[in-house]
Amino acid sequence: MKYMSRYRLLIVIYGLALVPAFYELGFLQRPAATVAGLAQPSPAADVLIDLYPDSLMAKCLEADRVMFLNYDLATARRLLEDALLNGCKEEETYFYNYATILMLMNEREECDQSSFLNVHLGGKVLPKRLWLTIPRRKSPVKSDRKWSKIEEAVAHWRLHDLSTNDQLDPRVAYKDLKFPAPMAPDTVYCMAMSRDSKRIVVGRQDRVLRVFDTAFRRFSAIPEAHTGLISAVAMAANDTRAVSASLSGDLAVWDMANGKLIHRLLGHRNDVYGLAVFPDGIRCAAADRDGMVRIWDLEEGKSLVEFAAAEQPVSSVAVSADGSLLATGSWSGEIRLWSLQADQPRELQRLQGHRGLVSRLVFTPDSKRLVSCSRDKTARIWNVATARVEFVLQGHGAPIYGLDVSPNGKFVVTASEDRRVRIWSVEKGTALRSLATRPRPRPLYAVLFAADSQTLIWDGGANGLEFVSTLPQ
């Protein structure tokens, strides 16, 4: 006990440092095809970064954080290189993370004199068992062969025997994978409901656009609606049209009566992440990976305005109910408000607070508040007039993707990868209910209020959509 008391601070620090290892090792067991990023950062990461901001370990933890929260590959790579090239050996799984980042960035650069091989091993040849696995050849590789940085990082990972499973090798698990990685094909990623609650447009991760009839509880489908995964959907033109966007960079306008394609909107040069229809029902705003937002005429099928909304990819967009404001959220966590009073949108305010990617934005029906949610596991209610946050909604244990405001403007609903749905008061910012998905819990990426402001709709898995009555009027 005497030694425990004397070295208690040191014991706490080392205990905290071990937690990230369990998160990283847990990541290695997940199927790569359904992982949307690296492992969730340890709860102790923030403490360690604050206590020792200049330490090598803190740089590795910060790399984890920006990867998980912001999908920021470039910053994560820079932080890991700084730590690993300066001798960081506290957690060897960071070599795996580094190799993963290089694969996702499609990096094929060869090693130089300052690379890991020279810095960490002093130019010594790695054990022959590793030479034979990177890459596999019929004969041993000579010591003067040029390695790529990916090969070298994998070699260091395997050197410490964290795994011998070839399927976990980043060169296998992340081959031809675009970041962020796709989800399971049956995942409901986005939904939009008609104002009479009779039809719901659903986008799953299988390129099939579906329309759900709430009276008969059945789907009709438009197969191969896009060549890329469907990323956003909306209703337009008094609910007679549906609009869908995809990761192939195109938008499509559909006739809700017969499922026929009316327009294919081309012009975005990269993935489209966010979509919002104007109150007039004949225009929409679409946000893409290049940080651009385009405003489209849905009747004519042409682009009206294009402007740069962020330096990072724009992940979400919303238009106020009165049509005067547009909001954009980016991978950096920043939200920007834009005036739509002139032909060209004009930036009004920047809302700072989220630490992770802004996944959804919704204005309240009176246009006085903006609600946002993020991969940082929080949602926020902002006052539009003052550009200040009124409430931070905390309680989810994983990134939040599903968000909606009730038609009566009283409630906010959030849905998360933690498999829970939470209902909040708009006026007080307090949690009212917490619900679990049924019959088997699953991560949720979309949730809606029905027109009665009482019923919630979310992904019901094989059962289609789940309808849950939650609150009195």
Distance, in Å, from the CA atom of 165 to the CA atom of 154, rounded to the nearest integer, reads 12
Amino acid 471: pLDDT = 64
Amino acid 384: pLDDT = 97
Amino acid 42: pLDDT = 64
Which of these, 44, 58, 41, lies nearest to 15 by C-alpha position? 44
Which of these, 262, 41, 309, 315, lies nearest to 253 by C-alpha position? 262
58 within 8 A of 65, measured Cβ to Cβ: no
13 torsion bin: left (phi>0), alpha (psi -120 to 50), beta (else): alpha
415 within 8 A of 446, measured Cβ to Cβ: yes
Q: What is the pTM of this model?
A: 0.82
CB neighbour list of residue 128: distance below 8 Å, 6 or more residues apart: 140
Amino acid 122: pLDDT = 47
Amino acid 113: pLDDT = 53
Angle 23-418-443 (CA atoms, 0-180°, nearest 5)? Answer: 110
392 within 8 A of 352, measured Cβ to Cβ: no
Residue found by looking up tokens 């008609």 in the block: 194
Count CB atoms within 10 A of the CB of residue 292.
Answer: 20
Q: Domains of the chain (ranges plus CATH)?
A: 2-173 (no CATH), 188-469 (2.130.10.10)
**Binned average pLDDT, 10 residues per bin, the chain of 473 residues:** 52 47 37 44 66 77 86 89 77 79 80 56 46 39 60 74 65 77 83 93 90 92 90 94 95 94 95 96 96 97 96 96 96 96 93 96 97 97 97 95 96 95 96 82 91 92 83 55
Residue found by looking up tokens 């290049």 in the block: 290
Amino acid 345: pLDDT = 94
Amino acid 82: pLDDT = 86
Amino acid 314: pLDDT = 97
Structure tokens belonging to residue 329:
């959220």
Distance, in Å, from the CA atom of 428 to the CA atom of 409, rounded to the nearest integer, reads 12
Which of these, 195, 107, 198, lies nearest to 153 by C-alpha position? 107
Q: Quick one: how many helices (H) and strands (E) in the chain?
A: 10, 27
